[in-house]
Structure 1
Amino acid sequence: MLRKNINIGLFGFGVVGQGLHTVLERTPGLRARIGRIGVKDRAKPRTLPPGLFTFSRHDLLDDPALDVIVELIDDADEAYLIVTEALRRGKAVVTANKKMLAEHLGELIELQRETGTPLLYEAAACASLPVIRNLEEYYDTDLLESVEGIINGSTNYILTAMHRDALSFGQALSQAQALGFAESNPALDVEGLDARNKLVLLLAHAFGLVVAPEQLLTLGIDRLSPLATAYAKEQGYALKLVAEARRLPNGTIAAAVLPTLVKPEHELAHVHDEYNGLITQSSFADRQFFLGRGAGAFPTASAVLSDLSALTYGYRYEYKKLRQQTHLALGAAAAEVEVLVTFTAETAPDPADFSRVHEQFQSDVRGHYLTGTIGLEQLAQARWLREPGICVVRLPGSLRAAQAVDKQ
């Protein structure tokens, strides 16, 4: 198939938008050019000719000469309006807005089907890691058993700085913000919500399961306690924010985003700074590991560039597994996980919520903790989970099928 020329309407000219402009200038063979750029800030100085910019989205969406819309803004609601209107007008779309995608994925998949217009979003998953298209194409017939990984570069940078450089959480966060790896309002990253949104996308392409973000148990790194980080060091574990989705024996999928202790021999223990790492486990290809930068202008722009290149060949997602797995569902009630819970004298977990309590420790100096096995659904519904002073960290090991336990 011959490549076609594409004329881009670009929304957003921040770090990633400027990175995309730079990489497009360095890849003339792509046959893609930016025809117009939509921005919001009228006072911000621009390095490109003023005539290239507009402050109305309609100038891009109404322009028949622009056949591809690239959406790189940080407003999920505005991004939704741009993307849906572009698709209805027959304009292909490339976006990096994982929040918008996760909140509207089912609707956007249906809109693509109705309009026959492609929506690509490799940059929304793991920045420079070519994950979505691999799940779509390489694993289209291979039965995936699990995907797990570090899929937020900001939190991984913070955790690396805390462990390697002995920085406090606040110091590591400030450093990540200064380097452009974390936003001025970092809640989406440190509360695990960005990783949760990306996990929604991985679930759709890995297993054919579309879920709402709120259905996934998500704990970030904002509640990490000094005792939890000390426990990790004493045991020789790396502390990472890990997103995981795993097929259970009953055919359902267990999925969650949790701070996790990782053994030193595990691949994810060696994913540092702003890098992402993703492990796939499948019936035929066995275990494979993807590693690449998960934050920054050029890593994200490279994924956008890859999608633009794919569009020149007429590529679109087929969502094959979505059609194959029409009855697939989340199975939190059938899954369990081993956790470390640190707490204070004022707030404590209820041991009755655990199927097994393995160890309990109390110290007026260091604090209190227990380790135990708890159902994923039980953990998500625990009244104490988000109480002040409570920190939950997953112990080494995967999400797994719950085992029947006689508590008598």
Structure 2
Amino acid sequence: MTRTTISIGLFGFGCVGQGLHEVLERTPGLRARIARIGVKNRTKARALPAEYFSFDRDDLLYDPAVNVIVELIDDADEAYQIVKTALHLGKAVVTANKKMLAEHLPELIALQRSTGTPLLYEAAACASLPVIRNLEEYYDTDLLDSVEGIINGSTNYILTAMHRDALPFAEALARAQALGFAESNPALDVQGLDARNKLVLLLAHAFGLVVGPEELLTVGIDNISPLAAAYARERGLTLKLLAEARRLPDGGIAAAVLPALLAPEHELARVQDEYNGLITQSGFADRQFFLGRGAGAFPTASAVLSDLSALTYGYRYEYKKLHQNQALALRPEATELDVLVTYTNGQSSLIEDFTQVHEQFHSRMQGHYLTGTIGLAQLAGAVWLRAPGVSVVRLPGALREVLAAASELTELTTR
């Protein structure tokens, strides 16, 4: 098969953009080179000669010598304009911008089909983990039952520091920012929004289901209470932020991003620091586990490099599962989950939303908690979910069995 030579118009020369440049320098066998680099800051000192850089995006998009656009900027709206224009111009695109993809995925899929131009985004899912292409190709004929994983390296680093090093949330976040694993504005990470955007991509390639990010229940780690952390430590459980999508018996899909408590033997409980981990469960291949770095310049650049290599062979996503599963839909009303809810005074009525309550604890000093079973749709619509002082964490199934084995509801009161 004849390989195409790639001339890259690179947008963004921050951490990942510089990492890509260095990775390309170390990969002479790949027929790819950076021709132009689009940046905004005119005064910033840069390692490459000034002639590489342009401050006008059209210089890259309309350069006939550039045949591939690599988009690595933070601004999702600007990234959308760049990607859309490039596809209309027939230039293949590689991007790592999960927010932009999640917000515009149906349009971008249609645009790829109408123009016949590929858009690849392995780096937008789990950095160094080769997830998208595996879901797209390897599981093409193997019915997937579920995907679940730690798909945000920043929050995993923070939770690791809180659990292993006993750091408070604010200090763990500051350490993650100092090391470059979290942004100066960490809201996308700690509120679970980055993981939610990635889950949109996983749903499309795992099940052929395209949804808007606002359709997915998303709870981050920014409101995890000291009482929830203490609950986890006392029971030997590990706290992680998980994204999950699961096929339901009726054929629908349940999907959400939630903090979760994991037993020590669970594969994801052992995923530490900035690493990502993803588990697939399927009818024929059974259970498989992917592990790799989920943050950092070189891990993300390695995924971009993989997409560039694939482009030299003419690769593109076919989205075959979208045709196979056109009637598939989210069904949050068709599933239940077990959760730990910690809360302060004024939220006692939340018990009414639960189909079953397993434990209750009340303390004037520490706060209150309950564990119980609640519908996913009921949780998503609960008025107390976003109330101040409320923390929600998913419980492992094994713990539910232990609690259910108790003869009757246990109510503990500490004064």
TM-score scaled by length of structure 2: 0.95
289-298 or 352-361: bigger deviation: 352-361
Query: Quick check: 290-299 or 341-350, which moved more?
Result: 341-350
Displacement of 1:365 after TM fit? 1.8
Q: Secondary structure at the match of 2:40?
A: coil
Query: How much has 1:366 moved relative to structure 2?
Result: 1.7
Distance in 2, matches of 1:249 and 1:322, equals 20
**Map of 2:340 onto structure 1:** 340
Opposite residue 155 of structure 1, the aligned amino acid is T
Structure 2 equivalent of residue 171 of structure 1: 171
Measured on the aligned residues, the alpha-carbon RMSD in Å equals 1.0
SS at match of 2:8: strand
1:3 CA displacement? 1.3
Amino acid at match of 2:29: G
In the alignment, what sits opposite 2:35?
35
Q: Which residue of 2 aligns with 1:256?
A: 256
Residue 409 (structure 2) aligns with: none
Q: Supply the AA of the counterpart residue of 2:222.
A: D
Amino acid at match of 1:231: Y
**Unpaired segments ≥5 residues, structure 2:** 399-415
**Does the 8 Å CA contact 1:349/1:385 hold for their aligned counterparts?**
no
Write the distance in 2 (CA, Å) between the matches of 1:247 and 1:397.
17
- Distance of 1:165 and 1:350 partners within structure 2: 33
Tell me which residue corresponds to 1:378: 378
2:49 counterpart residue number: 49
Shift of 1:161: 0.3
* CA distance 1:42–1:158, shift in 2 (3 Å): same
What residue number does 2:96 align with?
Answer: 96
Aligned equivalent of 2:387: 387
Measure, in 2, the Cα distance between the counterparts of 1:293 and 1:75: 23
How far has the Cα of 1:397 moved from its partner?
3.1
1:242 counterpart SS class: strand
Cα shift at 1:4: 1.4
Q: Residue 129 of structure 1 corresponds to which residue in structure 2?
A: 129
Q: Is the 8 A contact 1:242 1:257 kept in 2?
A: yes
Identify the residue that residue 107 of structure 2 maps to in structure 1: 107
Counterpart of 2:140, as a letter, is D
The equivalent residue for 2:267 is: 267
What residue is the counterpart of 1:352 in the other structure? 352
Q: Secondary structure of the equivalent of 1:350?
A: helix
* Corresponding residue number in structure 1 for 2:87: 87
Q: Distance in 1 between matches of 2:108 and 2:345?
A: 48
Q: Tell me the alpha carbon deviations over residues 49-101 of structure 1, each in whole angstroms, 9 at most, x when there is no partner.
A: 00100000000001011000000000000000000000000000000000000
- Check the 8 A contact 1:243/1:258 in 2, yes or no: yes
Between the aligned partners of 1:391 and 1:287, the Cα distance in structure 2 is 31
> 1:256 Cα shift?
0.2
Report the Cα offset of residue 373 of structure 1. 0.2
SS at match of 2:29: helix
CA contact (8 A) 1:151 1:198 kept: yes
Report the CA distance between 1:349 and its aligned residue.
Answer: 5.0
Alpha-carbon distance between aligned partners in 2 of 1:77 and 1:35, rounded to the nearest angstrom: 24
The reply to whether residue 242 of structure 1 matches residue 251 of structure 2 is no
C-alpha distance in structure 2 between counterparts of 1:48 and 1:365, whole Å:
58
Corresponding residue number in structure 1 for 2:405: none
How far does the alpha carbon of each residue in 1:206-254 deviate from its partner, in whole angstroms, 9 at most, with x for none? Answer: 0000000000000000000000000000010000000000000000000
Trace 1:9-408 onto structure 2 (pairs within 5 A): 9-397=9-397
TM-score, normalising length from structure 1? 0.97
The 8 Å contact of residues 38 and 53 in structure 1, kept in 2 or not, is answered as yes
* Per-residue Cα deviation, 1:289-340 (whole angstroms, up to 9, x for no partner): 0000000000000000000000000000000101100000000010111000
Amino acid in the other structure paired with 1:248: L
The one-letter code sitting in structure 2 at the alignment partner of 1:353 is D
d(CA) in 2 for partners of 1:10, 1:279 = 33
- Secondary structure of 1:180's counterpart equals coil
Q: Deviations over 1:93-129 (max 9, x none)?
A: 0000000000000100000000000000000000000
- Secondary structure, aligned partner of 2:80: helix
* Residue 404 (structure 1) aligns with: none
Decide whether the 8 Å contact of 1:341 with 1:349 is kept in 2.
no
Q: Figure out how many residues of one structure are paired with residues of the other and give that number.
A: 399
Q: Which amino acid aligns with 1:312?
A: T
In structure 2, how many angstroms separate the alpha carbons of the residues matched to 1:108 and 1:323? Answer: 16
